[in-house]
């Protein structure tokens, strides 16, 4: 049994948010983001939680951690998606080629992207001149 990992050791819950809805999705930390999107798509299809067209696919979904988009070919672990992470889901707008919902509208907040991060300004010492 040496070398085998327990699948429950890499199982994580992820909070998927869209507008005022929150979905809790179970996935494996080492599955690809595209497979995770497929799991979300299946959940939407089965529950009718979100109205989707018949030809809707994982390519019509964008997932974000804060303002960083998750790449389909990377694993959840590679994209720093861990247990109890919060991701925001933006869906492709109906009857458009590549136009997606705005992240600020879906999340209800504005994420600032700051790179490199600003350094806090040090207070300038006042010299006393007599």
Q: What is the pLDDT of residues 68-91, one digit of tens each?
A: 999 999 999 999 988 999 999 999
- Cα–Cα distance, 112 to 94 (Å, whole number): 28
Q: Can you give the pLDDT at residue 10?
A: 84
Record the tokens describing residue 21, joined without a space. 């809805």
- Cα–Cα distance, 20 to 108 (Å, whole number): 9
Record the tokens describing residue 83, joined without a space. 């247990």
* Model confidence pLDDT, tens digit, residues 33-76: 999 999 999 988 888 877 777 778 899 999 999 889 999 999 99
**Cα dihedral 103, 109, 110, 114 in deg (nearest 10):** -100
Assign domain 8-107 to a CATH class.
Answer: alpha beta
Respond yes or no on whether the N-terminal peptide bond of residue 84 is cis (omega within 30° of 0). no
Q: By percentage, how much of the chain surpasses pLDDT 70?
A: 80
pTM: 0.76
Q: Can you give the pLDDT at residue 1?
A: 46
Residue with tokens 């590679």: 78
Q: By percentage, how much of the chain surpasses pLDDT 90?
A: 49
Q: Can you give the pLDDT at residue 79?
A: 92
How many C-beta atoms lie closer than 10 Å to residue 36's C-beta? 26
Query: Average pLDDT, stretch 11-16?
Result: 94
Nearest alpha-carbon partner for 50 in 84, 17, 87 = 17
């Amino acid at each position: 049994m040496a070398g085998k990992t327990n699948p429950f050791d890499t199982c994580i819950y992820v909070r998927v948010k869209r507008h005022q809805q929150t979905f809790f999705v179970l996935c494996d930390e080492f599955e690809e983001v595209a497979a995770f999107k497929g799991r979300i798509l299946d959940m939407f299809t089965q529950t009718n939680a979100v109205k989707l067209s018949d030809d809707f696919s994982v390519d019509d979904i964008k997932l974000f951690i804060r303002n960083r988009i998750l790449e389909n070919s990377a694993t959840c672990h590679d994209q720093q998606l861990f247990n109890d992470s919060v991701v925001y889901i933006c869906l492709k707008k109906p009857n458009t080629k590549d136009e997606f919902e705005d992240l600020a509208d879906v999340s209800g907040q504005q994420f600032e992207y700051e790179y490199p991060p600003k350094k806090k300004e040090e207070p300038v010492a006042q010299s006393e001149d007599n």
